[in-house]
Amino acid sequence: MDVKLKRPLNELGAVEIAEKIAAGEATCEAVVRDCLARIAARDNVVKAWVNFDPEIALAQARVLDRGPRRGPLHGVPIGLKDTIDTFDMPTEMGSPIYRGHRPKADAACVALLRRAGAIILGKTATCEFAGSEPPQTTNPHNAAHTPGGSSSGSAAAVADHMVPAALGTQTGGSVLRPASFCGVFGYKPTYNTINKAGTWPAADSIDTIGWLTRSIDDMEMLTSVLRMQTPTAPVQLSAPPRIGVWRTDLWDTAQDESKAAVEQAAKALGKAGANVRDFELPAAFTGLHVIARSTVAFYERAACMAFAWDRHRDRLSAQMRRYIENGHKISRDEYVAGMKKLDECRVLLGPVFEQFDVLLVPCVPGEAPHGLGATGDPKLQAIWTALHTPSMTLPTHRGPNNLPVGIQLVGQRYEDDHLFACARWIWDAIGNEEMVGVRP
């Protein structure tokens, strides 16, 4: 029956896969086999997967095929960043210190995915301890360029049609940046929306679990499952959104393609009927990325890495050692002052959303940089991660090397559903399905 499908099953989204399995038009095993075939054909170049065992994935699929429908993700393969615990495969954090590490239980988010019928296809490559020391993963659009990080493998695997969706984590920009670089949708929910039990910490007051997909429908499906809700029809806006455009205090550091993405999107959305206006945030927001990345994150990183620092320092990358050393130099008073500044800005941001439904801001400095020695600058995403706001990137534009460049949308805290409704309106107005992922 599967041979009659016009497209291989691995090219379908999560919602489409679930629908076809429920209708008897595909089996869970057939879906997994198509994903495995794509991985076999491409992962020698993309290098998105680690701790990957096809037999574990197939075994899960066969169990699902023999039993009743478990939930809305029944038979849908999902990739997991290798900082998220799984009971049936290693979790190694991109570090030799944890080589072969076998957790006794799934992370909370993984258990919820399995409960909904998802198949854990495998673990995706991550920067060391969700930091910045890159794995070997390449950008599926051009292997000479970085896929971004630290959720490198998750973004690359989704973009290359190896898996319809994958989980990542974001402390600075580790979901949205690789999503933008790889040309897929990336979503970071409001801080602490998703339980982080069983997920390696980097900076606990900022860390957020997020996900990468090739459609807004798929993002919403995973959101419902991970919030322990029954999926419902997407919320539709009753009127075109009020969109606030803030170029941020980092505008001059952005490359032409990122500036053009914001300017062109704002102009096109205005023509489509949205109320689009420029605005400026107060001076308190200036330099907020420095507090987020160089004060709070370094200080908290030094604490969560204490065991590795004291027992396995020589097995940490030079970059991670610098992070920890920087954290040790930050006083408790400096850390508390940084936390208070973030609290102040969260309060100041509230009234902005009385004027606007969603903010349109730059997502990345530009397209994915050439080379694999670094994963790109996270500062344009780090602002919003530290402010605990929900944010997402849409794959709307391309740069001078024909590599993807996304725009970033930001919503009010705890108003994620409204952000989704705005994003859907915006994508319908200016999106292009041909921009999403790599054409097989």
> Mind telling me the catalytic residues?
81, 150, 174
Handedness of CA 271, 273, 278, 281 (dihedral sign): negative
Q: Point out which residues pair with 169 in neighbouring strands.
A: 209
Cα separation, 61 vs 65, whole angstroms:
6
Token pair 């704002």 in the structure block, residue = 266
Cα separation, 32 vs 104, whole angstroms:
25
Cα separation, 283 vs 226, whole angstroms:
36
Q: What token pair was written down for 265?
A: 């999107």
* Alpha-carbon distances, residue 340 vs 196, 266, 295, 369 (angstroms): 23, 33, 12, 34
Q: Which pairing describes strands 119-124 and 49-50: parallel, antiparallel, or unpaired?
A: antiparallel
Cα separation, 28 vs 20, whole angstroms:
10
Token pair 């109320």 in the structure block, residue = 275
Residues contacting 108, CB < 8 A, separation 6+:
194, 195, 196, 197, 198
| Single-letter residue type at 220 | E
SS3 171: coil
Cα separation, 39 vs 175, whole angstroms:
21
- 3-state SS of 220-272 is HHHHHHHCCCCCCCCCCCCCCCEEEECCCCCHHHCCHHHHHHHHHHHHHHHHC
| Single-letter residue type at 7 | R
CB 83 within 8 A of CB 110: no
